Amino acid sequence: MTKIESTFFDIGYMDRLSTQETPIHRLDPRAKLLTTLIFIVVVVSFDKHEISGLVPFFVYPVVMIALGNLPLVYLLKKILLVAPFAFLIGIFNPLLDRELLIHLGPVGISGGWISFASIMIRFTLTVGATLILIASTGFNAVCMALEKIGGPRVFAIQLLFLYRYLFVLVDEAFRLVRARSLRSFGGRGMGIKAFGSLVGHLLLRTLDRAQRIHLAMLSRGFDGKIRLMRPSKMQIADICFILGWSTLFVLMRLYNIPQFIGKLVAGLVQ
């Protein structure tokens, strides 16, 4: 069951990345959360045939990866891993939209291919930004940020609990699956019936655990309200981070920089 194992290590690895000490990691989680959201909205607001205008946006992930000391290759691999869905839907564009739009000498490129390329670029940018947010901030901090910018508390707490017990439950599931596969002697998949009782079993254990956790909470004075002590300090650096990037994003949305550079170069050549 390599999938469970790899997921396990994956989450753990992302978590470890988020505990680094870099200028990016030190920023307030809210600043990074807001900036990521603004980035994504600006990126997807481009027209579907846009390519050159999207290119400058790579500056954000690149700077974050460099300053945040994040592993580029690992993040790229993760992006590739989830690419199939966007690819599958996007690949219809070249088939359906065959109008030739660009002529590069003798070669004509159809609108479909352009919008397909645009989809893949957007996909890389938005997914990259999300992964960078987690790797530079950590999931728990993102949850607290969510709560601080006005998300419902019950939901934030729920996310924290889920994340806490993810590790325990994935480990438990892994042990169950291993125990089964060791006794199934190369029998490949698992039928629905076996799956039902294996997962049902895991579910019963989960319910028992929930009860024990509740008991542990009660023993320490839990009264239905979770209190968290997190001093919140948005500093000037955080505000500059949000404003700086947002301004840049908007400018990059308004002005097509590659086009400008291209013209400049072309002018020089002539």
Partner 1 sequence: MSHHIIEVNNLQYTYPDGTRALRGVSFRIVHGASVAIVGANGAGKSTLLLHLNGYLNPTDGSVRIGDLPVTKKTLKYVRRTVGMVFQDPDDQLFMPTVYDDVAFGPLNLGLGPEDVDTRVMNALSIVAASHLKNRPPYKLSGGEKRSVSIASVLSMSPDILVMDEPTSDLDPKTRRELIELLKTFEHTKIIATHDLDMVLDLCERTIILHKGQITADGPTVEIFQNEALLAESRLEQPLRMQSCPVCCRST
Partner 2 sequence: MHMADALISPAVGGTMWAATAGLIGYCSKKVKEELDDRKIPLMGVLGAFIFAAQMINFTIPGTGSSGHLGGGMILTILLGPYAAFLTMASVLTIQALFFADGGLLALGCNIFNLGFFPCFIAYPFIYKKIVGNQPTRRKILIGATLAAVVGLQMGAFGVVLETVFSGISELPFGTFVLLMQPIHLAIGIVEGLVTAAVVVFVWRARPEILEKAAVSAPLGELSIKNILVGLLVVTVITGGALSWFASTYPDGLEWSMFHTAGTEELEEPEKGLHTSLAEIQEKTAFLPDYGFREAETEVAVEGEAWPAIDSGTTVSGLIGGVLTLAMVALLGFALKKRDKTA
Residues 218-237 binding partner 1 (CB under 8 A) are: 218-223, 227-229, 231
Non-local CB neighbours of 252 within 8 Å, separated by 6+ positions: 42, 53, 56, 57, 59
Rounded to a whole number of angstroms, the distance between the first and last alpha carbons of the chain is 61
Residues 203-232 binding partner 2 (CB under 8 A) are: 203-204, 206-207, 209-211, 213-214, 217, 222-224, 226
Of 99, 221, 227, 233, the residue at the interface with partner 2 (CB under 8 A) is 99
Of 20, 148, 163, 246, the residue at the interface with partner 2 (CB under 8 A) is 163
DSSP state of 100: E
Name the one residue in this structure whose structure tokens are 């301004």: 247
Of 35, 123, 136, 145, the residue at the interface with partner 2 (CB under 8 A) is 123
Measured CA to CA, the distance from residue 219 to residue 197 in angstroms comes to 33
Non-local CB neighbours of 71 within 8 Å, separated by 6+ positions: 17
| Binding status of residue 185 toward partner 2 by CB under 8 A | no
| Binding status of residue 217 toward partner 1 by CB under 8 A | yes
| Binding status of residue 86 toward partner 2 by CB under 8 A | yes
Question: Which listed option, partner 1, partner 2, none, makes contact with residue 140 (CB within 5 to 8 Å by class)?
Answer: partner 1
Measured CA to CA, the distance from residue 127 to residue 239 in angstroms comes to 24
Cβ neighbour number for residue 65 with a 10 Å cutoff: 20
| Binding status of residue 216 toward partner 1 by CB under 8 A | yes
Taking the complex as a whole, how short is the minimal distance between the CB of residue 112 and partner 1, in angstroms?
Answer: 46
Check if the beta carbon of residue 239 is closer than 8 Å to that of residue 28: no
Residues 158-197 binding partner 1 (CB under 8 A) are: 160-161, 163-165, 167-168
